[in-house]
Amino acid sequence: MTRPARKNLVEYLVAATAFFVSICTLGVYLYQSRLMTQQQHVSVWPYVEWYFGNLTDYHLAAQNKGVGPAIIRKVDMRLDGKPVADMSALLVAVLGDQPGFVLETSTLLGRVLAPREEVMAFAIHDPKNKARFEEQFERHQFTMQVTYCSIYGDCWISEGMAVRRTDNADLGLD
């Protein structure tokens, strides 16, 4: 083998090695980028649960137990399978029209819950009204789905203490 041919072979081997190392480096950078993206999403993961409480009053509360803000995108309440528009409509559906009945309400829809923030969706403070509502309410089947998203658009549906991930396409959201 002549010197120029040997020199060309060495140059090709050096070039092929450099190309191989470059491809491996690109793969490592792509993998690292993917890991960093996943880490960013997890660092702002919201986790919303809702529950009833009846110790001193009767209330429905939602709490973000996650580490990032929860953007409430949809709230679907049903009583005996029929849609309920809001907490006041829930009261009417359970007890009928009750003039003078004091029900403290707050909306969940459209709210941004900070980490560890809790919101009372409704509360009945009067012991007599609390007992009457609770007794009637237990005769019905109540379901509620709270759909919420992270700041990155990852979305979940809370059905009380059970939370499942969902896709934006499933929600009709952009």
Check: pTM over 0.85? Answer yes or no. Answer: no
Where does residue 125 fall: left (phi above 0), alpha (psi -120 to 50 degrees), or beta otherwise? alpha
Residue-wise pLDDT tens digits, 75-123: 999 999 999 999 889 999 998 887 778 889 999 999 999 999 999 999 9
Identify the pLDDT of residue 60. Answer: 95
* 131's tokens: 């007992």
* Residue 32: pLDDT band with limits 50, 70, 90: confident
- Helix, strand, coil % (nearest 5) of the chain? 35, 30, 30
- Cβ–Cβ < 8 Å for 43, 35: no
Residues making up the chain, counted from first to last = 174
Q: Around 10, how many Cα atoms within 13 Å sit in the side-chain half-sphere?
A: 7
Residue 5 pLDDT more than 90?
Answer: no
Residue 174 pLDDT more than 50?
Answer: no
Reference 129, options 58, 79, 52; nearest CA is 58
The 10 Å Cβ neighbour count of residue 100 is 5
Residue 36 pLDDT more than 90?
Answer: no
Token match 């209330």: residue?
59
Average pLDDT taken over every residue of the chain: 88
Residue-wise pLDDT tens digits, 13-30: 888 898 898 998 888 888
Residue 49 pLDDT more than 90?
Answer: yes
Residue-wise pLDDT tens digits, 62-74: 999 999 999 999 9
